[in-house]
Amino acid sequence: MGSEPFVLAVVNQKGGVGKTTTAVNLAACLAASERPTLLIDMDPQANASSAYGIAQAERQIYDALVDGVPLTHCAYETELETLHIVPAGRDLVGAEIELVSMEAREFRLAQAIQAMGEAYEIILIDCPPSLGLLTLNALTAADAVLIPLQGEYYALEGLANLVSTVELVQAQLNPRLRIQGIVLTMVDPRANLARQVEAEVRGHFGDRVYRTRIPRNIRLSEAPSHGQPILLYDIHSKGAVAYTKLAEELLAQLALAGPPRKPPVLPNTSADRAPTGESHESTP
């Protein structure tokens, strides 16, 4: 892997599969490996932002997409020194409409990431649960996609549609795009259906399905209400252990070369922190 950041879109058009939970906690575990990591919240629901305690931000991903504000001016520090986040907000709801009339509308995020140069080693994008223009921007900017998959029948149908979309974007907009891996989420090993779905997915996708499975875990559900990833909220929980192992698998795939870089110094920015004690995301 070269000096350019590796850009990974966490995507599934089906809601409630642990997509944002995976983006939030995988980003934290990657950053804990001392690799400068940027998490971009592309979902208007802004759950990834509130999971880090950011309720309102002066600068958001909207400003980068629509107004061309540099991403580093929209990024905020977290409790982890090597992890920054570009938050989403209510303005993002109208971004898809505004982007329609813009030149190179599918490449706005890609252009913003390219303009940062080598500021980060890994960039994760939390995509909306849809296949609209915001998700298309993420897929066009990404080197690869990570697909969280819940162990149920309808998830398999959605997976086939998502793979077709990835192939279409690869053919028409982003030839380097590939499926980095599929991670099984919200796994209950006692459920027969979950085991059947896992066997079918592994049979079809082989080693592109991560060995690590993310279990149903109440601590994962609680962490967002405290504005923390599971690694900071309860490092000994099953959820924290699972996401740490998932990060290790991904880092082994990437084979990052050289010593870790220093994260970029961000301009002075401010964000109101969300009050704790209230859950921001319903999916464990």
Residue 135 CB burial class (10 angstroms; 0-12, 13-18, ≥19): buried
Q: Using CA atoms, how far apart are residues 40 and 25, in angstroms rounded to an integer? A: 13
> What's the average model confidence in pLDDT over 256-265?
75
> What's the average model confidence in pLDDT over 137-146?
97
**Mean pLDDT estimate for the chain:** 89
Query: Residue 272: which pLDDT band, with cuts at 50, 70 and 90?
Result: low
197-223 pLDDT, tens per residue? 888 899 989 999 999 999 999 999 999
105-134 pLDDT, tens per residue? 999 999 999 999 988 999 999 999 988 899
Return the pLDDT at 278.
41
227-257 pLDDT, tens per residue? 999 999 999 999 999 999 999 999 999 987 6
Return the pLDDT at 193.
80
Return the pLDDT at 163.
92
Is pLDDT above 70 for 155?
Answer: yes
Is pLDDT above 80 for 273?
Answer: no
Query: Residue 97: which pLDDT band, with cuts at 50, 70 and 90?
Result: confident
Please, are residues 3 and 113 in contact by the beta-carbon 8 Å criterion?
Answer: no
23-79 pLDDT, tens per residue? 999 999 999 999 999 999 999 999 999 999 998 888 999 999 999 999 999 999 999
Please, are residues 39 and 53 in contact by the beta-carbon 8 Å criterion?
Answer: no
The pTM score is 0.91
DSSP secondary structure code for residue 9 in this structure = E
Residue ranges of the alpha helices (H) in the chain? 19-32, 47-50, 61-67, 71-74, 95-100, 108-116, 133-141, 153-172, 192-205, 218-222, 230-233, 238-254
Q: What structural domains and CATH numbers belong to the chain?
A: 6-254 (3.40.50.300)
The order of strands in the sheet holding 6-10 is: 76-77, 83-86, 37-41, 122-126, 6-10, 144-150, 178-187, 209-215
Return the pLDDT at 158.
80
Return the pLDDT at 56.
82
